[in-house]
Amino acid sequence: MNEREEGQEDATTGWAWEYDPNAEWVVGGMKAVDQEAVAVIASALADLAAYGLGPDGRLDEDPNPMRLRTYSTGTILVWYQVVPYRKRVYVKRVNL
């Protein structure tokens, strides 16, 4: 896995992840450890998207590719959107 900060593009694939609308809106007020966990998840989602994959399978087989998706692990639920033409994964909301 390629762990990178928000907005930092992968040198090979050009994919990155970002908070939408911004970090304060999405993860503001969360503990630092939780923010770091969200960043790791977002980075992994961007890595998967770079190869046309998501946690649930191939992105090109999705009948609604621009839909809001969810990924959960432990107590973290991440709401995100994959935008292939921009090579971005946008993290929209996080629930703990």
Q: What mean pLDDT is predicted for residues 73-82?
A: 96
Instruction: Let me know if residue 8 belongs to a domain.
Output: no
Q: What is the pTM of this model?
A: 0.92
Examine residue 20 and state whether it is found in any structural domain, yes or no: yes
Q: Which of 4, 21, 22 is nearest to 13 (CA)?
A: 4
> Following CA atoms 78, 83, 87, 93 in sequence, which dihedral angle do they give, to the nearest 10 degrees?
-20
Domains: count for the chain: 1
Partner residues linked to 77 by β-bridges: 72, 95
pLDDT in tens, 16-35: 999 999 999 999 999 999 99
Helix (H) or strand (E) holding 73: strand 69-73
For residue 1, is it within any domain? no
- Report the pLDDT value the prediction gives residue 66, as an integer from 0 to 100: 82
pLDDT tens profile 43-62: 999 999 999 999 988 998 88
Angle at alpha carbon of residue 68, lines to 73 and 30, rounded to 5°: 50
Distances (CA, A) of 45 to 14, 16, 23, 58, 83: 14, 9, 17, 12, 12
Whether 1 shows a pLDDT value over 80: the answer reads: no
Average per-residue pLDDT in the chain? 93
Question: Domain limits at 22?
Answer: 16-95
